[in-house]
Structure 1
Amino acid sequence: MEQRDSYHVFSKIIHWVTALLILGLLFLGFYMTSLSFSEDKLALYGWHKSFGLLVLALTSVRVLWHVTKHKPKPLETHKKWERVIARSAHIFLYFALFIMPLSGWIMSSAGDFAVKFFGLNVPDLVQKNESLFQNSRQVHEIIAFILLLIVGLHMAGALKHHFIDRDIILRRITTANLGGVGGVVLSVFVFSLYVFGAVYAVNHLKIKYLKSISVIDEAVRVSDHSDDISLMSSDLPEWHIDTDNSLIGFEVTQYGQGFQGHFKILRGQIFFDEMQMAQNKVRIDIDILSIKTGSDDRDAQAVSAEWFDVETFPNAVFEANIFEKISTNHFLARGKLTLRGVTMPIDLPFVLNIFPDANGKSIAKMVANLNLNRLDFGIGQGKWQSVDAIGGVIKIDISLIARNQ
């Protein structure tokens, strides 16, 4: 039979398991954000997500259990303000135990990051959405700091009841035989985890708000390299690329799950006439710094020296002057792609549709798909040459609109 002045043994187990998980996740969350991008960091994110989902499951079980089981009544010796604070803290803790993992799950889904529960694939809650990713990330972070504060107050209140008031509050959720020594041991253990989390929380704030970050100025970068461009000439009419509505999309895998992104076309020249295939030629300059994957952290890593190294190689260039017609609206461009200082031959099959616009001028829509091996171009240096974390094959999807003026 349950004692009215103590929690059920299952309630005690789920309380302390959840408490240790929360303290560990707070510590891990703030710690992993301080790390530079690496396979170790990606692995820590994976563990963080798995244990976060475990907290969500345990909290759901805990709520259902408490609805059906008896809970000890507040002590009569407690003042009204103590009961109000305790009640408010418990409400927020339950709220946070649901919102934290859910916001993290939404953040990963919206940012196109894989979510797994100890190796098992978990479905996305939402589709990729950069705005939602940023908002849910902010919610996740704010709740983490508030949770750290509330947990600290919750711990302080429990210790006050045990060592100063000398009532049974802490013994209700531990053991009736918890004495002074046991209370000290428990306090030191839990407080140590809390301090670790608090230290890395402060470090996280320093990194985010106090550290100056050098950013490459795009306008300067473009002007610095504009002299390197030699313009082509041709007797054929030139097609002018609509850079605002043209993209170079891509998909690559991270731990087996794909994420997508895109680059913008910086500039280009297209001379194309289906009736004069031998004279066709094209040059497209791709702005590597324009990369967008839905995650600022991932974008920053992509342009670093280990990956695309935009400070040295700001643009990728595709050039072709051999074209073949495969069938109606289907063509093949034989050329070369220069990426990260490496030039490789490329056969680019594409579909081209030309039609008049409202003003009677011609519009060309070209779509193409191909696969590239990032290692052929040296994308991913050092430990990133392994394809265990980031896949080696990059699927390229090109969507280009041009006008003949």
Structure 2
Amino acid sequence: MPSSSTNDPREGTLLENRYTVRRRIARGGSATVYEGIDERLDRPVALKIMHPHLADDSSFVRRAQREAKSAARLQHPNVVSVLDQGHTREGELYLVLEYVSGPTLREIIAREAPLSPRRTLDLLIPVLRGLGQAHRIGLIHRDVKPENVLLTEDGQVKVADFGLMRAVDEHTASATVLGTVGYAAPELVGDGPVDQRSDVYAVGIMAYEMLTGSRPYTGTALQVVNAHVSRDVPAPSGVVPGVPPALDELVLRATARDASRRPVDAAALLDLALAIRRSLPAPQDPPSLDTALTQPLSALDGDAARAGSAGEAPTEVFGTTTRHGDEMATEAFDARNRLGSASDSGTLGDGAPGGEAATEAPGTADRATPD
């Protein structure tokens, strides 16, 4: 591991006779993240230590502990696991998280964007699987962004930073204080109710950025917030000609300003992404887009019907029940838009996804990011 040059007084200390703090990875508005070692089990971990001022608020500490327990229930291969929680000698709350050493989606975007349709979907699909499981058990991330999407060394995609988001939200009384306004749904910066569709919006912004290399809105934080509330996200193909209409439509549905027009949760958006992914040309085919991808999503219905006649069981994408691994019930979203498809095989195809560095240690993306 690279040696630390931060001169952080916590480095080298031992938390509760178990976790050695090795080096600081990143520092955010509510926490600092360190690489650590679980001395009892002799394994690397990430240690997310809340800032001292938060320890003085007993109501925050209670809420944070509840949120951490809820996040620990979320066990999924595409989510960074919460392993433990405790308190430092000074009383700050800390979380022990699965350690991930690999790039963040931010780094992948910086290096590769604009990404191809296949690469974009190979990165988004596991993100949606992890979020879908969270939504299924009633958890909302609230801060989905490329910095919070990490890759393991073998290319597995994991969503980081579940837990404490609601508690910090309530402590600051503003989601925009802790989140990144570039990915914030209109209801996060306004008065609307926050639910799973807020995460869906953020995924749509990430998809736009992956396909084009930039976010749809730039400027000051206030200008970006106003744009989210008052303007529709444009189609990616307006920036990068050749982006398939199906991916344009995925982005536009996910980022609808009216939350009722978005897919109801990540599971519904996952079904849409999988249907588009299956319509892509095989890797060995010429790079030209096949006919299915040059038509609106509604045109995929015909392909679905043909797949059904070939013995593949159709799946109701926005209907009452969908299947991908385990069964995830989803509410009716749009009776007019149904995509028949074979059941999800659980594989990502040929692309291995990737991610963005937090605030420090360039080139080291082994992290659960700070809020």
Q: TM-score, normalised to structure 2's length?
A: 0.22
Normalized per residue, the structure richer in strand is 1
Larger helix fraction of residues: 1
Indicate the structure whose relative CO is greater, using CA pairs within 8 Å and at least 6 residues apart.
2
Structure number, greater radius of gyration: 1
